[in-house]
């Protein structure tokens, strides 16, 4: 066990009984929260939400690739990775990690509580010498998780430095489905989006959005709720946001899935990514001492 994992488990021992320490995939240090919506597992590595299992034996709500790497310094494929402080490739240095450094760094638990409504946990990452080499800002990044009748994720960014900062910050949520090719996404019609595959901005007035091929759309300003209808599993998944104006819809489809070493060739059928946070024209702009929080609430619904 490495030193970050030891620190994580030492702090975890101080949390309420409704939050238990577990060995995650490949033995990584993780915590489990229990609530009316089921159990949710989160790793120290990247504060990565690994899985959400409903209490009624239904299929897990989050997708986690069978080929995912669980190694120090590597991102995990699936669940809910945290994208921070840039989205996609670094704008100036392609040698820096895609989607920022947060999803590759160890977080520590800084608090938790439990009551009759469920359990809540806070995990934190702050700047150090390594992050400052990649991004010259002092910061505090906090993931707040609450498991009640839904899964609520609060992503908070605080500028601890002496000058303004600008950053992207997203929850890159992989929602598990029975067959992505049969799914429908409702709630984004009429919103301008950037098609990352074609490099253009467009508005699609049609509803619903379907996965008919590789899909990569960034909506800088789409604060409303989104419904993912999954006929194969006979359910819907509702994603509601507060303080998070941006959304991304992504699925790699056949060709790109085969190029990703940590994703099985046919695993694209088992998820649709609905990402939430601050991106592009709506990216965070924080003055010294300022903080902002975006809350995403995910719940199951009938299809």
184: annotated active-site residue: no
Share of the chain above pLDDT 70, in %: 99
Mean pLDDT on 196-222? 92
142 pLDDT more than 70: yes
Q: Which residue has the higher pLDDT, 303 or 107?
A: 107
Q: What is the pLDDT of residue 8?
A: 83
> Which run of H or of E encompasses 50?
strand 49-53
56 pLDDT more than 90: no
* 49-53: strand order across its sheet: 19-23, 29-35, 38-43, 49-53
**pLDDT category, 1, cuts 50, 70, 90?**
low
**pLDDT category, 2, cuts 50, 70, 90?**
low
Query: Which among 104, 42, 40 has a CA at the least distance from the CA of 74?
Result: 104
Domains of the chain, residue spans = 3-302
Which tens digits make up the pLDDT trace of 100-113?
A: 999 999 999 999 99
Q: What is the pLDDT of residue 164?
A: 98
Task: Choose the weakest-confidence range: 35-44, 81-90, 198-207, 256-265.
Answer: 198-207
Of these residues, 48, 172, 240, 267, which one is catalytic? 172
Which tens digits make up the pLDDT trace of 179-208?
A: 999 999 999 999 999 999 999 999 987 889
Taking domain 3-302, whether its CATH number is 2.70.98.10 is answered by yes
**pLDDT category, 15, cuts 50, 70, 90?**
confident
172: annotated active-site residue: yes
Q: Would you state the structure tokens that stand for residue 262, as one six-digit string?
A: 């940590």
In 116-256, DSSP assigns E strands to 118-126, 139-147, 151-159, 165-167, 169-171, 174-176, 184-186, 192-195, 200-203, 209-210, 215-219, 226-230, 235-242, 246-251
Q: What is the pLDDT of residue 207?
A: 87
Share of the chain above pLDDT 90, in %: 85
- Residue 242, phi-psi category: left (phi > 0), alpha (psi -120 to 50), beta (remainder): beta
Contacts of 233 (CB under 8 A, 6+ apart): 58, 59, 177, 178, 303
Of these residues, 120, 152, 240, 275, which one is catalytic? 275
Q: Would you state the structure tokens that stand for residue 107, as one six-digit string?
A: 């977080």
What is residue 191's three-state secondary structure?
Answer: coil
Q: What is the pLDDT of residue 58?
A: 86
Q: Would you state the structure tokens that stand for residue 94, as one six-digit string?
A: 């392609």
What is residue 37's three-state secondary structure?
Answer: coil
């Amino acid at each position: 066990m490495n030193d970050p994992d030891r620190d994580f488990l030492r702090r975890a021992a101080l949390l309420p009984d409704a939050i238990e320490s577990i060995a995650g995939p490949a033995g990584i240090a993780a915590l489990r929260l229990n609530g009316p919506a089921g159990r949710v597992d989160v790793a120290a590595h990247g504060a990565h939400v690994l899985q959400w299992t409903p209490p009624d034996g239904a299929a897990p709500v989050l997708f986690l690739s069978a080929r995912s790497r669980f190694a120090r310094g590597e991102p995990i494929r699936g669940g809910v990775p945290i994208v921070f402080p840039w989205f996609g490739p670094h704008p100036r240095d392609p040698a820096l990690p895609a989607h920022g450094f947060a999803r590759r760094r160890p977080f520590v638990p800084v608090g938790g509580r439990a009551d009759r409504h469920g359990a809540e946990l806070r995990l934190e990452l702050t700047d150090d010498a390594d992050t400052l080499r990649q991004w010259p800002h002092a910061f505090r990044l906090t993931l707040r998780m609450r498991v009640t009748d839904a899964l609520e994720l609060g992503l908070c960014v605080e500028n601890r430095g002496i000058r303004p900062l600008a950053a992207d910050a997203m929850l890159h949520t992989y929602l598990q489905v029975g067959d992505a090719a049969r799914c429908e996404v409702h709630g984004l019609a009429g919103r301008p989006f950037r098609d990352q595959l074609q490099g253009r901005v467009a508005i699609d007035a049609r509803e619903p959005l379907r996965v008919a091929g590789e899909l990569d759309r960034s909506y800088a300003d789409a604060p409303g709720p989104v419904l993912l209808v999954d006929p194969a599993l006979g359910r819907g998944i509702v994603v509601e946001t507060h303080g998070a104006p941006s959304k991304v819809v992504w699925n790699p489809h056949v060709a790109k899935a085969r190029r990703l070493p940590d994703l099985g060739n046919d695993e694209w059928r088992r998820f649709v990514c609905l990402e939430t946070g601050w991106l592009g024209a709506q990216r965070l702009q924080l003055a010294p001492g300022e903080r902002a929080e975006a809350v995403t609430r995910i719940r199951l619904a009938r299809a």
